[in-house]
A and B are shown apart, each in its own frame.
Chain A
Amino acid sequence: MSAATPVRPTASANEAPSPDAKPRNIGDGTVAAPAPKASPFVATMIRLLRYAAASRARFVISVVLILVDRTIGTFRPLIIGSMAGVLAAGGPQSELERLVLLLGGITLFLWIEGAILERTVARVAQDALYRLRTDLVDRIQGLSLDFYDRQPIGELMSGVTNDSEAVSQFLSNGFSSALSSIVQIVTTLIAMLLLSVELTAVAVAIIPIVVIASSVIERVAGPAFAQLQSKFGETSGFQEEVLSGEKAIIAYNRQDLASDIHAGYSEVVRDVGARAQFTGLLAYPVSQFVGSLQVALLGLVGGILVIEGSLSIAVVVSFFGYSGRLSEPISQLGQILASALKASAGASRIFAIIDEKPSVVEEAGAVDLPTIDGRVVFDHVDFSYVPGRRILHDNSFVAEPGQKIGLVGPTGAGKSTILNVLTRYYDIDSGSISIDGHDVRHIALDSLRLQVGTVLQEPFLFSDTVMSNLRYARDGATDDECIAAAKDANAHDFILGLPQGYETVLTDRGANLSAGQRQMLTIARAMVADPRILILDEATSSVDTRTEKLIQSALAKLQEGRTSFVIAHRLSTIRDSAQILVIDAGRIVERGTHEELLAMDGLYRTLYEGQFRGTRGIESAEAT
């Protein structure tokens, strides 16, 4: 196993921009990047563009074809105007036929070229998205657990999904539209100026109307949509609250009341939504009107100029075409900018994750941990998740190879934390942790974790076959080894009872198994890993007495010959420990065997008796 956990190992590392690298020119230099003082928006856009530019050849082809497409396209209104001019002059027919053939030829060319362009752009966009997604996950996989502590998984997930959707929309359309809009505006303006400065002035004079109208609309619609969003949120909140408490609503006949309150929320969404949507849609009639206004004004001014004899009718007809070619991209730029802002917000959140640095970093030249006996030594270990808020104080203990160590204490005392620092999910503040004399900070992370097996409180399984779930524990484990482990974990019998035995696919992470079966599978999985040191965070979900016995015997088998640490929620399971550590507020306050601790008449005894009184005194779920 490679020792490069925190380092992004894939080929894309060459292409993916590192966070602090200065923006540089892209590809063949078609896009000039401003200096580092660029605003966050520009910087994010450039970084996104570099994902697109990574498919170098296709990217260059796209840019060239956009330039070609918009430049050649500019000739179409000119030709159509010229044809009208020929007709107005009454001929000659040969000239008309020449122009028609020219238009036909250009149209045919633009068809083929346009198809190639659009398809290339689609490929560039999808490749960029693929690269962005895999970069993101490459990094997420390399981050330490503190990252997950800071971000609730649900939030992270919906963030990543929504953000990549916004980026996806922009990558598929935004970049190419932005470039082609700009090229179209420039080429159209050049053509117009060459034909008639006066008519260009008329066409351009209308642009401020478009800009002002759309900014007015934006100023009204923006807040309206923000209000809609918040009303929508309130309504969803109410729906969520009622539906998650639906059984209580049913039990007390409150359905009608809930419906009536909901109708009130829904009406507000309807009314606020109607206002927001309407203002948003106003851009459409405005652009329709401006289009017609342009044609009328060009006809008016152009007509007068033609009658005065200073302009040909061909130019006026050409301008009918050019006016649309000019105002269309201008009104589109607003939408492109809006989608760019959305994409930039999304992308910056994604980049923020890609730029995260793992907090636990392997030392340069860290060596693999040789096969160990399992002697664990904590020496004056201090630790805090958040600087300044110490969780573990001065923890020292020794676990000899093969010993069973029980950890007990109230919720939040730091039991799980001790095991989190043992496997170096977090780095300690001071003191040292060593295994068979090797300080965990000096050894390769993977080689450490491969020798420490964990059975977690909440059995987590993947939505895959039973066999794949077992083999997950060790790359290269054979089917026979997995089946042997399942037998040892008392799981073999129920697995054979599943519809396809070991090849049964677990749905929804094992929702088709009972809680006890899931626990037995995770025990079997830990057996496949065959670790030297074992960490058991006892399951809290209660199972029936028979299953409980099977699980306990499986766990006992798993612990045989291994140094094991058991976080107990029922003291009965750790009574036979070689040593029990009683943790309170991050300190080891008592230690010894069960009998010794009871005799001490301290916290352990209190916990023990509390349990017998029925209180769930030594609670589980330590908040990590």
Chain B
Amino acid sequence: MFPGLRKVLGLYRGYRLHLAASQALMIGAVVCTLLVQGLNARLIDQGIQARDIDVVIQTAVVMIAIAAVAGVLFALNAAYAVLFSEHTAHYARDTTFRKIQTLSFGNIDRFRTSALLVRLSSDVENVRTAVLYGVMFLLPAPISIVVAVLLGLVTAPSLAPVMVGVLVVVAVVLAVILGGIQPLYDRRQQRLDAVNNVLQEQLAGVRVVKAFVREDYERQRFARSADGLREASLAPALRLALFMPTINFVIYGGIALLYWFGGRAVIAGTGLAVGDIVAFAGYLTAAVVPMALLAYLLPILSQGEASVARIIEVLDATAEVQDRPDAAPLDAAAMRGRVAFEHVSFGYRGADGRPAAIVLHDIDFVAEPGQTVGFLGATGSGKTSLVSLVPRFYDVVEGRVTIDGTDVREISQEQLRDIVGVALQEAVLFSGDIRGNITLGRPIDDDAMTAAAVAADAAGFVDYLPGQYDGAVARRGYNFSGGQRQRLAIARALAGSPAVVILDDSTSAVDVAAEGRIQSGVQDLMGGATRLYVAQRISAVLTADRIVLLDAGRQVAVGSHADLHRTSALYREIYESQLGPTDVPFQPDSGAPPATPPVAAPATDLPATPVGDVTEPGR
């Protein structure tokens, strides 16, 4: 039983001594407790029966002393069991966290953050509880039982059949009542989840419920689900309800038999004394209790077992992106950053970890050092997927992505991510300060950090913060606006002076003027780097050297704004839907970046009533 938990017991090698010590102490404590029972017999027979007050006093004092020793041993056992379980939990938490840190984007997508958090918190906690109670009560149980049985046999060998009979009956009772109860618990858990799902859905969809006046329907739906839970909860409860009455029945039935058989022997004077019978009854109870405890341990243990399985699932995961063992170290400083996609196809993996549908087909282009390349297309056209292949967040399915001619799969991930700086689509800030958020603990000096902040148009608002770069950042950056978070994320990408800069729709929450400042700032600071910009807004890529236009995962056109406006109908459609129809296509300044955002230009000669809005169908 419980293979996972047994594995966990061996997990933490550094504390095997704790485990052994805890077991030894527990057995000592159990033996002491049983000795008190044995002394009880002496007190009755040689003290009270023999009318010897000295023996009575002596025995009572020894009993108290031994009881005190037993108490201390129990306490020490608890201390070791606690230490062992806490260290095991820490080990599991630490190992799992470290394992998660080795995973790739694809693994994280599939596990989901919330599920990983559950494993790190409540699953580890379940394991800890199971280990603690298992170590304290389950592991010493067999020895406790054996010691109690042996003491009983030494006291009154003739009563052995009663002892054995009671233990066999208890074992049968355990098997009958507890065997097969696990599926009942599982079913209860499923129904509980179902009830919670219904409630969650009702709360999340409250506006829909009210809009369609379905309150009564939802009440009935919940009541049905709650009734299912009641029924499923009752099944194991009704079964378990038989347990304690039955155990009591067996113990007291055993005691009755004890007095029936043993009592006759005492009266017949065959060597048994009253105290022996009383002590034997004590041993009998002491042998049954560890078995009865199983009823209470079982749910804790099976919960722990299920949690172990979930933790092991994470520990057994293999990172989707792996460094080649022979990945040769590169001179990162000498990288120029020429990015080439050579007939690249790519698809994410499905929930089962196997390759799913292809989302990028035959992507093929080159971004030269010093160039800006924009990626444009509708949501879901594959822009983010495409740029994720450069820092090797995912691996291509076909073709290859190279930097300065080297396949990114030949470069270690650590080096690759120094070469490529990415501002992710979701600008994540961490609690701490601004400095920490820009440097992320990398060895970046203040000048480089400030220069990056200036280029990302973040220096302005950072200077106004109390403490400037030491200004506090709340969890997930809640004390900053979306635009400010994006600017800090861009600064973070620039601060490492990468040869390739990727901004993945990183200016969606800033206004057009700031977008222009950021673009020219990046150009100034990172003029020699290759810059890849993903954009929803066409304004963000108008000035790019080349624009890669994506539609449904295919690269439908590549060229400058002027080229595409001339040659691509889809490009014109996007352009007009966003910026309105114009007769004269916007001409980017081919020289130095303009000081004012050039994208404001089309708005100035906006016709009062534009015609033919392409997003409006059928009119």
Contact = CB atoms under 8 A, between A and B. Distances in A.
A111 B249 contact: yes
Contact of A266 (B75, B90, B209): B90
Contacts of B391: 251
Contacts of B212: 449-450, 472-474, 525, 529
B218 A118 contact: no
24 contacts: A92-B267, A100-B260, A115-B246, A126-B230, A126-B234, A157-B200, A161-B196, A241-B475, A243-B108, A243-B117, A249-B101, A251-B424, A257-B441, A269-B90, A289-B71, A292-B63, A296-B60, A299-B59, A472-B208, A475-B217, A509-B205, A594-B609, A614-B512, A616-B508
B86 to A, nearest CB: 4
B4 interface: no
Contact of B274 (A87, A108, A281, A299): A87
A278 B136 CA distance: 12
Contact of A543 (B81, B379, B431): B379
B185 interface: no
Interface stretch (A21-29, A32-40, A313-321, A387-395): A313-321
Given A118-B245, A317-B278, A456-B207, A296 B428 contact: no
Contacts of A172: 237
Interface string B52-96: 110011011101101110111011001101110111011001100
A446 interface: yes
Given A2-B216, A114-B244, A303-B48, A246 B100 contact: yes
A614 B579 contact: yes
A141 B209 CA distance: 9
B573 interface: yes
A258 B431 CA distance: 13
Given A299-B44, A300-B57, A549-B617, A76 B252 contact: yes
Contact of B63 (A138, A262, A296): A296
Given A278-B79, A282-B75, 14 more contacts: A96-B264, A134-B223, A141-B219, A246-B108, A258-B97, A284-B78, A289-B68, A299-B59, A303-B43, A320-B278, A453-B211, A549-B617, A552-B617, A575-B613
A129 B191 CA distance: 14
A453 B72 CA distance: 72
Interface stretch (B445-453, B535-543, B585-593): B535-543
Interface string B575-619: 001111000000000000000000110110010110001111111
Given A425-B210, A473-B212, A296 B618 contact: no
Contacts of B199: 137, 157, 160-161
B242 interface: yes
Contact of A460 (B205, B244, B440, B619): B205
A612 B430 contact: no
A304 interface: yes
Nearest to A316: B48
Nearest to B578: A614
Given A267-B90, A285-B75, A299-B44, A258 B101 contact: yes
B317 interface: no
B203 A573 contact: no
* Chain A interface main SS type: helix
Interface stretch (B413-421, B462-470, B522-530): B413-421
A277 B86 contact: yes
Contacts of A553: 617-618
Contacts of A97: 260
Nearest to B510: A615
A141 B222 CA distance: 10
Contacts of B312: none
Contacts of B274: 84, 87-88, 313, 317
Contacts of B222: 133-134, 137
A262 B94 contact: yes
Interface in A78-128: 80, 83-84, 86-88, 90-93, 96-97, 99-100, 103-104, 106-108, 110-115, 117-119, 121-123, 125-127
Interface size class, chain A: 35 or more
B16 interface: no
Given A10-B219, A613-B599, A614-B578, A137 B70 contact: no
A270 interface: yes
Nearest to B619: A576
A87 B263 contact: yes
B378 A111 contact: no
Contacts of A256: 101
A-B CB proximity, top 7 nearest = A114-B245, A292-B67, A118-B241, A285-B74, A289-B71, A300-B60, A255-B101
Interface in A426-480: 446, 449-450, 452-454, 456, 460, 462-463, 472-475
A229 B196 CA distance: 25
A129 B233 CA distance: 10
A150 interface: no
A304 B60 CA distance: 11
Nearest to B252: A107
Nearest to B613: A572
Task: Please tell me the size bucket of the interface on B.
Answer: 35 or more
Contacts of A474: 212
A460 B208 CA distance: 7
Interface string B271-305: 00010011001000000000000000000000000
A126 B78 contact: no
Contacts of B424: 247-248, 251
B102 interface: yes
Contacts of A121: 241
Interface stretch (A232-240, A325-333, A337-345, A397-405): A232-240
Contact of A246 (B33, B86, B113): B113
Given A88-B49, A119-B241, A244 B113 contact: yes
Contacts of A161: 196, 199
A137 B222 CA distance: 7
B422 interface: yes
Given A236-B121, A244-B113, A252-B442, A303 B67 contact: no
Contacts of A241: 430-431, 475-476
A137 B108 CA distance: 35
Interface in A507-561: 509, 514-515, 525, 529, 541-545, 548-549, 552-553, 556
A440 B206 CA distance: 21
B162 to A, nearest CB: 12
Contacts of B441: 254, 257
A603 interface: no
A153 interface: yes
B94 A123 contact: no
Nearest to B496: A252
Contact of B414 (A115, A235, A253, A277): A253
A613 B63 contact: no
B287 to A, nearest CB: 17
Contacts of A259: 94, 97-98, 101
Interface string B175-217: 0000000000000000000011101111111111111111111
B350 interface: no
A30 interface: no
Nearest to A311: B48
A423 interface: yes
A118 B51 CA distance: 45
A571 to B, nearest CB: 9
